[in-house]
Amino acid sequence: MSTRRYNFNHRHSELIRLAKEDIPEVVSRALREDLGGHINIDNDITANLLPKYVIACAQILTHEKGIFCGKDWIQAIFNTLNQTVNINWYIKDGEKMIPGQLLFEIEGPARILVICERTILNFIQTLSGVSTKVHYYVSLLNNTNTKLLDTRKTIPGLRTALKYAVICGGGNNHRIGLSEAFLIKENHIITIGSIHKSIKMALSIFPNYPIEIEVESIQELIQAIHAGADIIMLDNFSFDEINQAIKINNGRVALEVSGNINDLEVTKIAQIGIDYISIGDLTKNIRSIDMSMRLILK
């Protein structure tokens, strides 16, 4: 089997670095959406009803069980607004939540807390929703050697945030972006002419990068194995075809399954010995976690 494999530990570290770099811009954009295109707290006309001197404590609670994610985005909100508040955390990213749990408290000007309420909840509800779904899928892979991967099917502008949430849920990241590895798909093959030519060209351009190729039939699988692919993605294969592909491959190339895979199929596929299962639904169809914020005046 090829040594050009995905290094998940390196990718994990790189993703966290990129996510932290992206946080100020992502948070700034979110605040501008609410504040009329400019980060000016006076642009919240309803918050202007509140006296500036009133201090309050905001309690953020979850009403559902799940996996928490989003701590650094919350701190960045107040850094971006240049506001000093005290945050007491009772949970960490990646930890389990139970209904009614107090996640954290923020003490500061009531006006600022009200202005930030929706931005705070949008981030932690969305990211925790991803982490919670990923955790569920990972639990279905217990006692197997199959790794769960995300995809690039993410909300535009939130790529690193959502992929960080995948890590918090116990999953692994596929390519962060297009510059990280080859993923030769149907349209690449059509343009270049064949699977063999595509892989040969990839090896000549960047010989040290993993070469993954997407195949849509057993015949294409055999071509990809003989052409020297490192990873082969079985796109929308039936269960019987996946089983057949594993036998034909016989451990020569890492195999990944992708395409409309639901929770009922994950365990079944993993148990027959597939290396990776990638699911776009993890970061594309997001159901946010029910959370709320309540003020207590000081």
Q: Using CA atoms of 203, 276, 279, 229 in order, give the dihedral in degrees to the nearest 10.
A: 20
Rounded to an integer, what distance in angstroms lies between the CA atom of residue 266 and that of residue 277?
Answer: 8
Query: In 110-194, where does DSSP find H-type helix?
Result: 110-139, 159-168, 186-192
Task: Name, in order, each residue with C-beta under 8 angstroms of 37's C-beta and a sequence gap of 6 or more.
Answer: none
The reported pLDDT for the residue numbered 179 is: 84
The reported pLDDT for the residue numbered 262 is: 86
Residue 76: which of 29, 40, 114 has the closest Cα? Answer: 29
Lookup result for tokens 């006692």? 143
DSSP E strands: which ranges in the chain? Answer: 55-62, 66-67, 86-89, 96-97, 102-109, 147-149, 182-184, 211-215, 231-235, 254-258, 276-278, 291-297
Q: Using CA atoms of 27, 121, 289, 13 in order, give the dihedral in degrees to the nearest 10.
A: 30
What domains sit in the chain, N to C, each tagged with a CATH number? 8-137+286-297 (3.90.1170.20), 144-284 (3.20.20.70)
pLDDT tens, position by position, 134-183 = 999 999 999 899 999 999 999 999 999 999 999 999 999 998 888 888 99
The reported pLDDT for the residue numbered 10 is: 81
Rounded to an integer, what distance in angstroms lies between the CA atom of residue 141 and that of residue 179?
Answer: 29
- Cβ 162 vs Cβ 155: under 8 Å: yes
The reported pLDDT for the residue numbered 12 is: 87
Task: Name, in order, each residue with C-beta under 8 angstroms of 172's C-beta and a sequence gap of 6 or more.
Answer: 8, 11, 12, 147, 148, 149, 150, 166
pLDDT tens, position by position, 14-24 = 999 999 999 99
Per-residue pLDDT of the chain (298 residues; tens, 9 = 90+): 445 667 777 888 999 999 999 999 999 999 999 999 999 999 999 988 999 889 999 999 999 999 999 999 999 999 999 888 999 999 999 999 999 999 999 999 999 999 999 999 999 999 999 999 999 999 999 989 999 999 999 999 999 999 999 999 999 999 888 888 899 999 999 999 999 999 999 999 998 888 999 999 999 999 999 999 999 999 999 999 999 999 999 999 999 999 888 888 899 999 999 999 999 999 999 999 999 999 998 7
The whole-model pTM stands at: 0.93
Q: Residues 56-84, buried b or exposed e (16+ Cβ, 10 A)?
A: bbbbbbbebebbbbbbbbbbbbbebbebe
The reported pLDDT for the residue numbered 234 is: 97
